[in-house]
Amino acid sequence: MDLFQKCYDFEAADMGRAIGVYPFFKSMEHCFGPQAIYNGRRVIVICSNDYLGLTNDSRVKQAAKQATDRLGTGCTGSRLLNGNTIIHDQLEREFADFLGKEDALVFSTGFLTNYGVISCLAEKGSFIISDTENHGSIVAGCRGSRATTVKYHHNDMSDLKKVLGELPQDSAKLIVTDGVFSMSGDIVDLNELITIKKQFPGTYLYLDDAHGIGVLGDQGRGTANYFGLTEGVDLIMATLSKSFASIGGIVTGPRKIIDYIRHHSQGFILSAAIPPASAAAALKALEIMKTEPQIFDRLWQNTSYIHDGFRRLGLSYIESKMPIISIFVGDEGKAVQLVKALFERDVFATPVLYPAVPYGQAVIRTSFTASHTTEDLDKVLKAFGEVAPEFGILKSQTEVPKKFVHRARAWNFDALFNSKEV
Ligand SMILES: Cc1ncc(COP(=O)(O)O)c(C=O)c1O
């Protein structure tokens, strides 16, 4: 068996490029907030996670520039050793305060935060109890730990209770869940989850709130705050790569737990710090969230406008309350053709394919921001209105599956381009 053979055999991406339907790695040439130039074409972007539209905010950009002038472009090492700055420290203090927790720790990405915290805390002999639709970085953290991972059905609290009941009573347990699930926009049933957690002593809760913080709750304080249950969540994780207009991840919680992670997590210790510009951008974004509540009003107005529009068009999409709306397509080939048709109408959307969703259940995940104008949203609705019947994405043509169940079929990327629909 040759290690590299699979790489030589992998032809799907080249085929996709050759026939002009390859949907990935589009290179942005210029950014104007919710619009950008790709391939010389100005398009409305509906696939970013820039929920508050702050990545192109002049104050955020200015903060990043000032930090670069003062501290340089990179940190050239781990924060533990040489890579820490006063801006990282300030960001942690302000973030912990914002979320009502004692302490916080900034990692280099959200992925590394999940990986680094879960693998560091859940040791051999302990159990991680994980929602089946948790983000891949949580799955990586579970695999990287030496604990046993058991899964419960997506957001199904009676299954969680059953799973917990089957574990040894005196074992160490960590429940891990997304606050807002990134593909469906589902919000975790936190009330019930915390009620159940309390019935099993020695069980802690880690909340990945990458899509909740900066969106939900009082001025973006996230899912736990939205439910009024911050105290009931032991550790809350956020990413800086979405509403915070930057890059990095952050975990907040009790001082002693965070300090342990600070000195033991490989994902933290063995990776270089985010640049000062990134820390400063996130800090400025946080300041804007705390002082300008109207930015959230705009986000929610746009969210309800687009939900109403999609409903009026009769699109088949996963119901959610969030600015994330996933339109169900099914066939992978059809999904890549659909995003091409949208791009030709100046709308940039991306397909979400296996393994991010189950095989044969491709979706177009759209997301909307505070900075989209009504005119942008109307153009998006017009484009969907034009392509929907041809691609069979109307409710009258296709139904969203009740559950996103992985089919027992190994993914072969080639299926994307061998699909009968292409
Ligand atoms: C739920 C969730 N957790 C974690 C991450 C990883 O965050 P980052 O992009 O900052 O690495 C993402 C990113 O998409 C996410 O959606």
Q: Which of 186, 207, 241 to mutate to test the pocket of ligand 1 (most atoms within 8 A of CB)?
A: 241
For residue 409, the model assigns a pLDDT of 42
Q: How far is the CA of 23 from the centre of ligand 1 (A)?
A: 21
252 Cβ inside 6 Å of ligand 1: no
Residue 189's H or E segment, with its range, is none
| Cα-based angle 131, 409, 176 (whole degrees, multiple of 5) | 10
Q: Is 48 in the pocket of ligand 1 (CB under 6 A)?
A: no
Atom of ligand 1 nearest to the CA of 247: 10
Are 24 and 64 within one domain?
no
Q: State the pLDDT at residue 357.
A: 79
In this structure, the answer to whether residues 82 and 127 fall within a common structural domain is yes
Indicate which CATH number applies to the domain containing 189.
3.40.640.10
How many angstroms does the Cα of residue 226 sit away from the middle of ligand 1?
20
345 in a structural domain: yes
Query: Which residue's alpha carbon is nearest to atom 9 within ligand 1?
Result: 110
Shared domain for 102 and 214, answered yes or no, is: yes
298 and 198 belong to one structural domain: no
Quick one: pLDDT at residue 16? Answer: 84
Verify whether ligand 1 is closer than 6 Å to residue 134 (CB atom).
no
Type of residue numbered 9: D
Scored b (16 or more CB within 10 A) or e, 232-248 reads bbbbbbbbbbbbbbbbb
Distance CA 173, CA 390 (A): 49
Can you read off the two tokens belonging to residue 148? 């046993």
What distance in angstroms lies between residue 339's CA and the mean position of ligand 1's atoms? 23
Same domain, 323 and 241: no
User: Which residues of the chain register pLDDT less than 70?
Assistant: 403-422
Please give the tally of structural domains in the chain. Answer: 2
* Residue 177 vs residues 302, 360, 363: alpha-carbon distances, Å: 27, 25, 22
**Ligand 1 centroid, distance to 179 Cα (angstroms):** 12
- The response to whether residue 225 sits with its C-beta less than 6 Å from ligand 1 reads no
**Is 37 part of a structural domain of the chain?**
no
Helix-, strand-, coil-residue percentages of the chain, each rounded to 5: 40, 20, 40
List Cα–Cα distances, 408 to 328, 352, 360, 405, 420, in angstroms. 20, 19, 11, 9, 20
Q: Count CB-CB contacts under 10 A for residue 396.
A: 9
Protein residue with least CA distance to atom 16, ligand 1: 182
Q: What is the model's pLDDT at position 417? A: 53
Q: Would residue 44 count as lying in a domain? A: no
Q: How many CB atoms lie within 10 A of CB 324?
A: 23
**DSSP H/E element including 147:** none
Check whether residue 258 and residue 363 sit in a common domain.
no
CB 101 within 8 A of CB 257: no
Are residues 298 and 209 located together in one domain of the fold?
no
Site to probe by mutation for ligand 1, drawn from 132, 133, 182 as the one with most ligand atoms within 8 Å of Cβ, is 182
Query: Peptide bond preceding 293: is omega within 30 degrees of 0, i.e. cis?
Result: no
**CB-count exposure of residue 213 (10 Å: 0-12, 13-18, 19+):** buried
Q: Alpha-carbon distance 118 to 399, whole Å?
A: 36
pTM above 0.85, yes or no: yes
Q: Give me ligand 1 centre to Cα 363, in Å.
A: 18
Residue 272 and residue 127 in one domain: yes
Q: Note whether residue 41 is domain-resident.
A: no
Interior/surface letters 60-85, b for 16+ CB within 10 angstroms, e for the rest: bbebbeebbeebeeebeebbeeebbb
Cα dihedral value 164, 170, 172, 177, nearest 10 = 20
**Residue 343 and residue 380 in contact, taking contact as beta carbons nearer than 8 Å:** no
Q: Which of 291, 324, 355 is the last residue of a domain?
A: 291
Nearest to 12 by CA among 412, 360, 366: 412
* 109 touches ligand 1 (CB under 6 Å): yes
Strands 235-239 and 203-208, bridge-based pairing: parallel
Using the atom order of ligand 1, give the atom closest to the CA of residue 112. Answer: 11
Residue among 47, 48, 135 to mutate when testing ligand 1 (max atoms within 8 A of CB) = 135
Cα first-last separation, the chain: 32
| Residue carrying structure tokens 């992670």 | 261
Q: Which domain holds residue 397?
A: 5-32+293-418
**pLDDT for 421:** 43
Query: Is the minimum distance from the CB of 92 to ligand 1 under 6 angstroms?
Result: no
